[in-house]
Amino acid sequence: MHMKQFYCFACIIIFTLSCSGGNIINTASADKLIPLVSFVFDDGYETDYTVAKDIFSLQGEVACTAVVTNWLNTENYLSVSQLLELQKDGWEILSHTESHPDLKTLSESQIESELSNSKSILENQGLTVKNLVYPFNKTNAIVKKIAAKYYRSGREGDSMLNSYVLDRYELKSYSLTHDLSKIKSYVDNAYSEKKWLILFHHHIYAKIKISDQKGNFILGEKLFFQPSGAKGKYTASGFVFPGTAIYFAPLSGIPQTNDTITGQTSGATGKLGRVIYNEKEDIKYLIEYIHTNYPEMKIVTIDKGLDLMEIP
Ligand SMILES: [Zn+2]
């Protein structure tokens, strides 16, 4: 490298660091980094416990749940005792604020209370909370400054990988979509570039096409699939071209084409025409994909990821 090029490069680095407000940390050298993947389930849905917990523990892995404290212990959301069990399994509990507002629209004192209360409410229940997920993935300089008072990091979206030069109050993430070939390409890139892939998701659903439906399923009731023996929890009905679809949390087993579906309370029935997606199976598949193809890649919590990136 010529001296002139060197100075330009050095200036860019210094400029970048000085613009960061001190959040960009670059202590690790790129060549010793390990490629990382984190799975974060936003909003604290009960499927983190009823569906995801087993997927990860059966494969010896961990994930993170980002909790909105006002939604805890309400219908379809996690309870504190479920959170404690997830934590015992090695999951990381993240704050996702108290009421899930767009923090950018709040006054400084409102931001302050959203960020400090959510952390103390969880910690008073015996949970360890070090990191934050911004609602709607939205943040700005003021939000980041307040986040830094209470948290080690903050996560937003932006569909990017995290490299070893990063702003820990602007951790980047991708949405875990149904396009598995896309998600696999993010994993491939994180591996080859030795970067950190953070995937975020919400409620874990399966969506199926249903035919010959008799009666109406009741929200929250158990669904039984025969002969596969699978079980689910009914969430909603919808449309699929041509016909009707239903959504449910896939609790156990794998529903199969031609299964007869029966609602436990309603007695409604139907026939499974086609599985449109099953997010539980997708997540299982992704973990297996990582284990098989990239055994040295690590699946980590956010806090562990920060450690391995040598972020203070
Ligand atoms: Zn959210």
Q: Cis omega before residue 295 (within 30°)?
A: no
How confident is the model at residue 13, as a pLDDT? 41
How far apart are the CA of 120 and the centre of ligand 1, in A?
19
How far apart are the CA of 131 and the centre of ligand 1, in A?
14
d(CA 201, CA 84): 20
How far apart are the CA of 204 and the centre of ligand 1, in A?
14
d(CA 130, CA 247): 34
**Per residue in 91-142, pLDDT tens?**
999 999 999 999 999 999 999 999 999 999 999 999 999 999 999 999 999 9
Q: Are 132 and 247 found together in one domain?
A: no
Q: Are 248 and 134 found together in one domain?
A: no
How far apart are the CA of 42 and the centre of ligand 1, in A?
5
Q: Are 166 and 300 found together in one domain?
A: yes
Residue-number span of the structural domain to which 57 is assigned: 24-203+283-308
How far apart are the CA of 247 and the centre of ligand 1, in A?
20
How far apart are the CA of 59 and the centre of ligand 1, in A?
26
How far apart are the CA of 199 and the centre of ligand 1, in A?
13
**Per residue in 161-218, pLDDT tens?**
999 888 999 999 999 999 999 999 999 999 999 999 999 999 999 999 999 999 999 9
Q: Are 242 and 291 found together in one domain?
A: no
Q: Is residue 34 part of a domain?
A: yes
CATH number of the domain residue 263 falls in: 2.40.30
Structural domain count of the chain: 2
Q: Are 156 and 185 found together in one domain?
A: yes
How confident is the model at residue 32, as a pLDDT? 63
How far apart are the CA of 136 and the centre of ligand 1, in A?
6
How far apart are the CA of 197 and the centre of ligand 1, in A?
19
